[in-house]
Amino acid sequence: MTEFSSPPMVVTLGSVTAGLAILVVMLIRWWTRDGRRAKALLPYLFSTLYGMLLVLTGGGLLGGAAGWALWGTTETGDAALEHGTGSESPVVTRQYADALTPGGSMVVILCTVALVALLVWGRRPWAHIVLGLLTGISLGLADSIAGWTAVALAPAANGVGDALGGLL
């Protein structure tokens, strides 16, 4: 069996800039076009949290895809900072990342199924979900306030997955 390789999981200030830029765009859209209804933000928020979990996976197809998405947002954000403002884009990757247990990985698979179902049967969540995924992947490993959300997500996913799977 061949391993699906992905770029190294390195977060720069450009990654954080790209993730926060998407967040700003989605909040402005929600404020101006979606009637400020909390329900309108749910697909975006769910997929952002899911993206944070994806970037914590140990590998496989989902982890590899998250790695490539992180590479894309990193390159985009780095280019914006370097060419747009003349600034550098230092590495801001968290020194440690909580690993997912097999139970936590099961939660990622269940979230993947829910996301696909939402894409298939949802009204118009495509842009919300894709942008949410990119936001979560961009911010999940960052050593920032946004990145620390992933620190709380990993143990929660592990606890739920271990309990559901009978691994406790």
pLDDT at 117 over 80: yes
pLDDT at 37 over 70: yes
**Cα–Cα distance, 133 to 55 (Å, whole number):** 10
The answer to whether the beta carbons of residues 109 and 53 sit under 8 Å apart is: no
Question: Which pLDDT score, from 0 to 100, does residue 126 have?
Answer: 87
Percent of the chain with pLDDT over 90: 64
- Any idea how long the chain is? 168
Model confidence pLDDT, tens digit, residues 83-107: 999 999 999 988 776 788 999 999 9
C-alpha distance from residue 56 to each of 1, 63, 112, 138, 149 (Å): 22, 7, 14, 12, 12
Report the SS3 class of residue 84: helix
- The reported pTM is 0.90
Q: Exposed, middle or buried by CB within 10 Å (0-12, 13-18, 19+), for 97? A: middle
**Which residue carries 């969540």 as its tokens?**
125
Domain assignments of the chain as residue spans, ordered by start:
13-165
Residue 4: pLDDT band (50, 70, 90) is: low
**Cα–Cα distance, 113 to 150 (Å, whole number):** 20
- Burial of 117-147, coded b for 16+ CB within 10 Å and e otherwise, reads ebeeeeeebeebbbbbbbbbbbbbbbebebb
C-alpha distance from residue 127 to each of 38, 61, 119 (Å): 17, 22, 10
Tell me which residue of 116, 146, 151, 152 sits closest to 24, measured CA to CA: 146
Model confidence pLDDT, tens digit, residues 127-168: 899 999 999 999 999 988 777 787 889 999 999 999 999 876
User: 1 vs 48, which has greater pLDDT?
Assistant: 48
Q: Which amino acid is at 134?
A: L
Question: Which pLDDT score, from 0 to 100, does residue 6 have?
Answer: 67
User: 112 vs 150, which has greater pLDDT?
Assistant: 112
Question: Which pLDDT score, from 0 to 100, does residue 1 have?
Answer: 46
